[in-house]
Amino acid sequence: RAEATAKLKDLAATRTELGSKKKEVQGKLAEARQLLNTLTAQEKQQLAAAEQTRATRGTERVSMGKITPGSGHAGAAFSAAQSKIGSPYDYGHNGPSTFDCSGLTSWAYAQANVSIPRTSEAQANIGQRIYSQNQLQVGDLVFFYGDLHHVGLYAGKGMVLHAPHSGAFVRYESMGNMPYQFGVRV
């Protein structure tokens, strides 16, 4: 009974926290919509064209040359993720045909028989942290943005293999395009 009571309290706390985060996200969405409504028709067309260019950039398979995997599991995870290049981004999905960023990484590691948490924030708390980009190995998890809301797999040569955002596809991209925080070796 005591264990059940403790779990109910944890659940209530989690529910409260999720409600707070939902309100925060809804507020940001409302601000974005309000800002979007201030744009002229020409500005909206330019924005749509720029987004279409970003969404389709890098959907083709990029030759990265010879890639030496960092470890057996990391190499297997990276190979699995490579097989999904061109798959569409879909928030909350972890394959096998659509992915969000952490869905791709958790799916890829599952193909290597390694279970990792589902969210980028939880994935940031496993394994060995690597702060220097020059110490990263192919297949290491790499995290971006201060709140760690984005994760991908290090591809070597300063590149990340990831599922970037809505409207985009799994692709390679320069790590310099996002604020790198650290890597994790699983």
Show which residues are catalytic.
101, 150, 162
Cα 52-108-175 angle, rounded to 5 deg: 50
Give the tokens for residue 112.
Answer: 């290597």
**CB contact at 8 A, 77 and 111:** yes
Do β-strands 128-130 and 159-162 pair in parallel, antiparallel, or remain unpaired? unpaired
For 102, the enclosing helix (H) or strand (E) is helix 101-111
CA of 152: how far to CAs of 19, 44, 51, 78, 88, in Å?
27, 30, 21, 10, 15
Is-contact 115 47, C-beta < 8 A? no
Look at the chain and count its residues. Answer: 186
Task: Count CB neighbours of 62 within 10 A.
Answer: 13
Query: Which among 152, 155, 174 is positioned nearest to 163, based on CA atoms?
Result: 152
